[in-house]
Amino acid sequence: MSISSKIVDDFVANDVSFITTVPCKQLAGVIDEVEARPEIFHIPSNKEDEGMGLCAGAFMGGKRPAIIMQNTAIGVTINTLATLTQYYRMPLPMLISYRGELREPVACQVEMAVHTKALLNQMNIPTYHFHKESDADELDAILKYTFMCNKPVAILTDASFWGGYGDQ
């Protein structure tokens, strides 16, 4: 089974049925898998704070939401995380491609990578870092934890986890 299928299986098993995505090359496989699953309503968003608004609404409508995005989005979602998701105490699993880590070919991506964990830490957002494929074995427990505590939770997935970038 592909890692993308395994990840989306865990979402489905945890009753996550509303997922918004902003694409990243690393996330293409998992986004395709989200789109393909009939159990999930997939709604692409144009910007990640918009996506967090959609997720907040879906949660209040009785669905379990999730967002899939790139780590650069941390820079544009701090206010939304603080004044919507955290302030109203809503759960939000954030599956995040951790660009700018080992094997990164694009230098500019490193500029946000060096801030990513510091910002998440500053926000008191529980953060998990998937570096090896076996790290994803914890996803099921992370999703249960997220919906237990009603907090945004970050799952950083780096290039090594996804098997590199292929030919560049």
Partner 1 sequence: MIRSEILREIAPILRDQLVVCNIGLPSQELHMIDDNAKNFYMLGTMGLSSSIGLGLALAQDKTVISIDGDGSVLTNLGTLPTIANNVADNYILLIIDNGSYGSTGDQPTYAGKKTKLENVAKACGCENVVVCKDVDTAKTLQAAIDSKQMTIIVSKCDSGNIKLPVITMDPVVIRDRFMKAVAS
Q: How far is the CB of 50 from partner 1 (least distance, A)?
A: 5
48 and 77 Cβ atoms separated by less than 8 Å: yes
Question: Which positions ≥6 away from 126 have C-beta within 8 Å?
Answer: 145, 146, 149, 151, 153, 154
- Among the listed ranges 2-10, 62-70, 107-115, 125-133, the one in contact with partner 1 (CB under 8 A) is 62-70
Burial of 123 (0-12, 13-18, 19+ CB in 10 A): middle
- For residue 38, state whether it binds partner 1 (rule: CB under 8 A): no
Q: How far is the CB of 70 from partner 1 (least distance, A)?
A: 16
The residue type of 153 is V
Q: Distance between CA atoms of 60 and 65, rounded to whole angstroms?
A: 10
Q: How far is the CB of 122 from partner 1 (least distance, A)?
A: 17
Which one of 25, 41, 128, 145 is in contact with partner 1 (CB under 8 A)? 41
Residue ranges that bind partner 1, judged by CB under 8 A: 18, 41, 43-47, 49-63, 65, 79-80, 82-84, 87-90
